């Protein structure tokens, strides 16, 4: 009788996500995830969204159009910007996301001598 295959956390077919508040910097949340079939419909976040793609491809729509971002790339969206998200290839995508509150980013910007609210000129980098 052949051995059974039991998916593990390392199995790329298994979806997983861990979301938590980062106590080291109040006003920030973190996510590490692997998605294959999950699809996010149009939504917003009150925070900035800065996601580094660790594997596969994420495809998403945003105010500037549509982006496809692969390993090592950044998927970025400003607070309140309507966007979607889904796998750009059948194998899905993995990413690590940093969600800093608007106040955190504005405070850092002021500390660096910037004026106004920081934003992104492009979404998929």
Given CATH 2.60.120.10, say whether it is the number of domain 16-111: yes
Helix/strand/coil (H/E/C) assignment for every residue in 68-115:
EECCCCEEEECCCCCEEEEECCCCCEEEEEEEEEHHHHHHHHHHCCCC
Rounded to 5 degrees, φ, ψ at 111 are -60, -30
Q: Taking all residues of the chain, what is their mean pLDDT, rounded to a whole number? A: 89
For residue 1, the model assigns a pLDDT of 45
Contact 77, 48 (CB under 8 A): yes
Average pLDDT on 46-59 reads: 95
Over residues 68-107, the pLDDT tens digits come to 999 999 999 999 999 999 999 999 999 999 999 999 999 9
Instruction: List the chain domain ranges.
Output: 16-111
């Amino acid at each position: 009788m052949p051995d059974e295959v039991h998916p593990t956390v390392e199995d790329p077919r298994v979806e997983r996500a861990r979301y938590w508040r980062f106590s080291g910097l109040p006003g920030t949340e973190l996510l590490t995830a692997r998605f294959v079939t999950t699809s996010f419909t149009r939504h917003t976040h009150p925070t900035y969204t800065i996601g580094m793609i660790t594997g596969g491809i994420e495809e998403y729509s945003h105010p500037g159009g549509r982006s496809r971002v692969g390993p090592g790339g950044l998927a970025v969206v400003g607070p309140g910007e309507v966007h979607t998200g889904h796998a750009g290839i059948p194998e899905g995508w993995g990413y690590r996301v940093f969600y800093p509150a608007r106040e955190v980013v504005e405070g850092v910007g002021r500390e660096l001598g910037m004026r106004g609210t920081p934003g992104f000129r492009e979404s998929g980098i």
